[in-house]
Structure formats: C-alpha cells, structure tokens
Copies of this chain bind each other. A is one copy, B any other.
Amino acid sequence: MAKGTILSIDAMGGDAAPDVPVEGAAVLLARRADITLLMHGDEALLAPLVDAQAALRGRCTIVHTDAVITSDMKPSQALRRGKGSSMWNAIEAVKNGEAGAAVSAGNTGALMAISMLILRKMEGVHRPAMTALWPTVRGRTVVLDVGANLEADAAQLVTFAIMGEAYARAALDIEKPSIGLLNIGSEEMKGHDEVREAHEWLRTATLDMDYRGFVEGDDISKGAVDVVVTDGFTGNVALKAGEGVARMLASRMREAFTANLRSKLGAALAMDGLKRLREQMDPSNVNGGVLLGLGGVSVKSHGGTDARGFAKACELAAALAESDYRDKIIANLLRVRESGLAAG
C-alpha cells in the first residue's frame, strides 16, 4: 500500500451500513491519492462492495469481524460486550498506530465510551468534549461541548476553549480562530458563576488565543466567532433546537413550492439558486463530530448520512490525523496550569 494517511473505518455502523461507509470512503479516495484504508466488518459483505469501487482497488484492507455494536446498545453494554466488534477494532487500530484516525457512523454513546476506554484521555484533560460543525452565514463554526458531559465547571470550559481552538485550526483551516463563550446577555454581570469565572480566565490568561468574550445563542449562526464554548447540556439543546428549526423551515419551503402549478413552475425556474441553498443547508456538507481530548482521533459521522456525508467525515478525520492539533492543545493546557488554574 502507498504511504500517507491511513484511515480506520467502521464499515458496519450507521443506518445504511455497510454500503454508505464503503461508498463514502471511495468518494474521498477518488480525489485523495495519499489516503489508504482499513475497513472493519463482515468480509463476506464487504468484499463485493469494495471490489465494485475503482477508487478502493489496492488501497483498502478488509479486517474481518462478525461482531457489531447495534444502535440500541447502551454505552455500558458496548463496553462489556463490544470487544472485537467493527467499531472496537476500528478504534484499536488507531491506538496501535496502524491508522491515523477512526471513523464510525454507529451508536454515538458506544463510540464515545469505547474511544475513551481505548484511546484514553490526553494528558491534562479530565473531560473530553464532543464537537459539532455549525453552518453559519460566513461558513462554519465549531460548537463544543454538544453532549459528552452534562455539566462543565470553569476549568473545563477553559479546556474546551483550548481544544476547540486547536480543532478549528485543523478542521476549518483557520490560522487564528476566534473564541466565544456562550451566555445569555452580553453584560459582564450575567451568566452562571462557572461561565463568568471561565470568562475571567480566558480574558486574563497568557494564552496565545483570540478570545472575544461572551456570545449569545443567535451569534452562532451569524458566525460571530469560529469557536463557541459551552457545557454539554446547553450545547446539545442548542444544536438540536437549531436543527429542528432548519428542518421545519425546509418542510415549509417544500410546501410553498408545491402549492400549485404556478409555484411549481417558479421553483423550476429558481432551481439553480434553490439547489445551492439546499447544498448549503445540507447536513452532509458539515458532517463529522469529534470527541476532543483523547490520545487519538475518533470521528463520529451522522448515522443517517449518505456517501457524500460519510466522505466529509473521512476528510475531517484525515485533516486531524495529519495535523499537530494535539500538540497545540497540550502546550496551551500547560500554560493554563502554569498560570494556576486547576486543569479541567
């Protein structure tokens, strides 16, 4: 196999596995000659699918296993019974240095738990955080934590800011990402104690970071900052509330354009613009959540994504595998510890 980045794919995770993972990986490899694959799953199912993809020929090693983590397994069950499954093996290959990053569209809770167990936490990180890429007027914004933890104290929020900054640089290719802390109201006196304390730290700490202060919920879609930091409960609610609004408006738009013959004709004429709009709104264009703060890269793809969306998640995994973002995180965490804040 050629040299370069090696991705470790859980081919059995997600609503349309193994078809979507195999096709999605092929979409990426067709334009990235430097990437090769380990494909974990049932060889009898995978071999014909892989053979059918010209882009995968000679660049994809199938690693057979019968065992699968199902979507209804609880994290604790996945930890007890998941050993040897396609998801487990995909992550273990990263741990063993056989691959630079793992990608799975399977059970989110299981993926977080198994990734945490196998890859361990990065030095100085007590609580890993889940990221989301949020589409904005200006591009994309990283939001974290979106659900790996229920709560976050000030030190954890500072750690999330440090991790989110390094991640945005690697994932979005931004030289100097700007950071905001999610709050309600921009006055200095508002907000939970932990949010205000984290604000003071980020404002005064000698971090080489473009910290912009508090942002509010509506600033996320404005793209006011590149990274929005919050606790996992608030981040998860905000993300899902935003997704719900987008889905409602998309369905209303469909209604508006199929109301009668005139509106259908109008939609046909405006097709180019509507297609672009659809692409911009397409969740598969911003697919990929990463559990930051681990000793290796493990990327979560939406379970219901299509091949193009899975390719996006693989592309993100490759970008992280090739970047030094974890060194940046370690360096900034050290600075924070030296300035006296208890590590989160």
A267 and B272 alpha carbons, distance in the complex (Å): 12
**Whose C-beta in chain B lies nearest to the C-beta of A280?**
B252
Check B244 against A218 for contact (C-beta < 8 Å): yes
Contact at A270–B277, with CB atoms within 8 Å? no
**Cβ-defined contact, B147 with A184, below 8 A:** yes
Highest count of chain B CB atoms <10 Å: which of A136, A220, A221: A221
Q: Is the CB of A272 within 8 A of B252?
A: no
Contacts A151-B192, A270-B267 given; does A244 touch B222 at CB 8 Å? yes
**Choice from B238, B240, B277 contacting A252 with Cβ under 8 Å:** B277
Q: Closest Cβ of chain B: how far from A95's Cβ, in Å?
A: 27
Closest Cβ of chain B to A287, distance in Å, is: 17
Binds B, one of A96-104, A168-176, A200-208, A254-262: A254-262
Chain-B contact segment, one of A82-90, A229-237, A336-344? A229-237
A277 to chain B, nearest CB (A): 4
**A263:B267 contact, CB within 8 angstroms:** no
Bound-state CA distance A243–B219 (Å) is 10
A266-B269 Cα distance, complex, nearest whole Å: 5
A242 within 8 A of B: yes
Question: Given the complex of chains A and B, what is the CA–CA distance between A226 and B236 in angstroms?
Answer: 21
A280 / chain B contacts, CB cutoff of 8 Å = 252
Chain B nearest CB: distance from A197 CB in Å? Answer: 14
The interface on chain A, measured as residues whose beta carbon lies within 8 A of the other chain's beta carbons, has a size of 63
The answer on a CB contact under 8 Å between A217 and B246 is no
Q: Which residues of B contact A270 (CB under 8 A)?
A: 256-257, 262-263, 265-267, 270
Beta-carbon contacts of A18-61 to B below 8 Å, as 1s and 0s?
00000000000000000000000000000000000000000000
Asked if A239 is at the interface (CB within 8 A of a chain B CB), the reply is yes
* Shortest beta-carbon distance from A37 to chain B in Å: 32
Please give, as numbers and ranges, the residues of chain B lying within 8 Å of A216 by CB-CB distance.
236-237, 240
Q: A234-B237, A256-B270, A267-B270 are in contact. List 14 more A-B contacts (CB 8 A).
A: A184-B240, A217-B237, A218-B241, A220-B244, A222-B244, A237-B237, A241-B241, A242-B242, A245-B245, A252-B281, A256-B274, A263-B272, A263-B274, A265-B266
Residues in chain A within 8 A of chain B (CB atoms): 74, 135-137, 147, 150-151, 182, 184-185, 187, 190-192, 216-222, 230, 232-234, 236-249, 251-253, 255-257, 259-260, 262-263, 265-274, 276-277, 280-281
A–B complex contacts, Cβ < 8 Å, 26 sampled: A74-B187, A137-B248, A150-B190, A150-B192, A184-B236, A191-B233, A216-B240, A218-B241, A218-B244, A218-B247, A221-B241, A221-B244, A221-B245, A237-B237, A237-B238, A238-B238, A256-B270, A256-B274, A259-B273, A260-B273, A262-B269, A265-B269, A266-B267, A266-B270, A266-B271, A266-B273
